[in-house]
Amino acid sequence: MDEWISATRCWSPSPSPDGTTIAFVWDGEGLPQVRLHRRATGEEWSLDTGDDLVSTVRWSPDGAWLAVETAPDGGERTQVAIVRPDGTDLRAVRGVGDDDRGAVTLDRFTHTGSVLAITESDTETTTAWLVDADTGQRQRLGSGHALQILDVSRDRRRVLLRRGRRGSRHVGIVDLDGTEGWHEIDVQRGPGGPPGAVEHPVAITRDSSVVAGRFTPDGTKMLLLTDGGRERAALVAVDVATDASPMTPEVLAERVDADLERFALTEDARLAALVWNVEGRSEVDLLDLESGKCSSYAPPGDVVTHAVFSHDSDSLVMGIQSPEVPAAVWCHELSSDTTALICPQEEPRWSPGQLVHPTLEVVTTPDGLRLPGWLYRPRGSAGPLPTVIYLHGGPEAQERPVFTPLYQHLLARGVAVYAANVRGSSGFGRSFVNADNGAGRFAAIRDVATCVEHLVGCGVADPARVAVMGRSYGGYLTLAALVNHPELFAVGIDVCGMADFETFFARTEPWIADAAVGEYGHPIHDRNLLRELSPVHRMEHLRAPLLVVHGKWDTNVPVHEAELAVHGAKAAGVPVRYLLFDDEGHEIQRTENRVRFIHECVDWLGEHFGLEPRADTA
């Protein structure tokens, strides 16, 4: 079954401007790296961009460069580099020279040439930059909280800049002064941009959140993916011509039963691919923005994770996942109405139908909230069963029907899995994702208990053999559930979760702490609330054996949080095991480590569920 874990994954596709080649991130040799695929022949090759783990790749509009975002040691201090498509001339890209500024993030290329849009985050602020890959010249656009460059107009005179903390991310338009050339920075002026730069906020996005945005080719309108003024995220157009006031949005696409999760736009802005999140599964529409006509497209999988058009607008390149298929890259050619698999090229080493597909299982809370989750049942097994409640990170993330080897290994051992979406998860509307903010987190903790009660009540879960586990925020929620509802759980697994909000805010990266205030609360103003929510102060109530897993280089949730959990478990007198990966960060990326992680988790749960050991360990 280890072939499930080591199966090749591909993501972050980017087509070359001439459409002949597709770049993507590939982990077929055990580490995420840049891979290129020639469409005409199927030939593939990798580019050497160093030892750091690659997360994103983008092709420049002139075809001269590939930009890559990497994570040294798998941590949060990401870097950006550029490299020629033939693998030569690898160099780092920064906005301020060679000083260590924390994290550099790749946002996009401009629409022509080789100019990158990047942001740099450090101990004080986030700064947005344009950097010319050919000359190394830089232009500063602005500074502030959690900036992201969504788009740059074709004439490079206007920039669509997103700023703000989690849950309240709005946009503004930075009007540059329109002069030719690049400028020295006057840090005393305006938003920290070049002389004459003025930022205009877009009022409709206040008290809401913007996910993505693009200018139309003539720069007079912008298209936004936002939940501004509505419950479900939609695609709207806003007139941003110089004399347009007020900025009144025009709704281009919305649904009452789904969030618009992402959209891709052709270079001429005539066609948009809309990816809807319908309770976890993806539905795709192709919208003609001139006529308003919309046609549906059925993707070859359950969840579309990426979507981008080729430069000639004839191909839609997508990242797609399903319960039986690892992350893959597909290409849909509009002119021929055909869809082809790009990567991975090798056939799965398991038979069709061997892996379990989940069913949607809705839990209703005492206050009437509907919690959609995914129930995986072992084939041929009737309940009650040993059951794992799995809690995702974020919390603004979502459990979806994707390829998850951990679940399949548990199912093969006769263990059911309920992948829960408690309040605070994304994909179910604005009210749902904000329902756990601040003091609402107490209700999110109670949601975990409600999931257990539901599964026991409907005969799925054996009440004496229920486990809870989760990663990142899900690890926090695991600890919180274990110490607030200890009577419900036989065993737990905390994967890089927070144990104490006070130490988390003090030790995480400054830009992560700043963005998290709107979600969790302010570390000073809400200190009492955060203390009450922190599991470390209730560890004496822990009854379940606890496995704690962490990466040494995790600077999102620093390893100190794992040490607090281990110390608390020992003080409570329960069995505890600590698994620390010396070469991982916030995510376990290396194939050999993912194999070990899943085996350790399955064995820990099997031991405390009273199952027979795995055949290869007996």
Q: Is the pLDDT of residue 503 over 90?
A: yes
Q: Is the pLDDT of residue 390 over 50?
A: yes
Structure confidence at residue 537 (pLDDT) = 97
**Tell me: the pLDDT tens digits for 77-107?**
889 999 999 999 999 998 654 455 588 999 9
Domain 359-609, CATH homologous superfamily name and number:
Alpha/Beta hydrolase fold, catalytic domain (3.40.50.1820)
**Tell me: the pLDDT tens digits for 399-453?**
999 999 999 999 999 999 999 999 999 999 999 999 999 999 999 999 999 999 9
Q: Which residue has the tokens 């401009």?
A: 110
Structure confidence at residue 142 (pLDDT) = 81
The average pLDDT across 449-466 equals 97
* Cα 358 from chain centroid (whole Å): 21
Q: Give the C-alpha separation, 95 to 140, whole Å.
A: 8
The average pLDDT across 495-520 equals 92
Amino acid of residue 549: V
Q: Is the pLDDT of residue 179 over 90?
A: no
Tell me the pLDDT band of 182, cut-offs 50, 70 and 90.
very low
Average model confidence (pLDDT) for the chain? 89
Q: What percent of the chain has pLDDT over 90?
A: 70
Q: Give the C-alpha separation, 611 to 511, whole Å.
A: 44
Q: Give the C-alpha separation, 304 to 308, whole Å.
A: 11
Structure confidence at residue 124 (pLDDT) = 75
Structure confidence at residue 244 (pLDDT) = 46
Amino acid of residue 613: P
Structure confidence at residue 351 (pLDDT) = 75
Q: Give the C-alpha separation, 268 to 218, whole Å.
A: 10
* The pair of three-digit structure tokens given for residue 105, joined into one six-digit string: 């993030």
Structure confidence at residue 247 (pLDDT) = 63
Q: Is the pLDDT of residue 526 over 60?
A: yes
Please state at what angle helix 591-609 crosses helix 405-412, rounded to 10 degrees: 40
pTM of the predicted protein model: 0.92
Q: Is the pLDDT of residue 188 over 50?
A: no
Amino acid of residue 405: P
CA 369 → CA 50, 358, 373, 419, distances in Å?
Answer: 48, 22, 13, 17
Per domain, the residue ranges of the chain are: 255-345, 359-609
Please state at what angle helix 441-457 crosses helix 473-484, rounded to 10 degrees: 70
Cis link prior to 358 (omega < 30° from 0)? no
Structure confidence at residue 139 (pLDDT) = 85
Q: Give the C-alpha separation, 145 to 126, whole Å.
A: 6
Structure confidence at residue 207 (pLDDT) = 58
**Tell me: the pLDDT tens digits for 154-172?**
988 888 888 877 767 778 7
* The pair of three-digit structure tokens given for residue 589, joined into one six-digit string: 């990326």
**Tell me: the pLDDT tens digits for 599-617?**
999 999 999 999 988 666 5
**Tell me: the pLDDT tens digits for 29-84?**
989 999 999 999 999 999 999 988 999 999 999 999 999 999 887 778 889 999 99
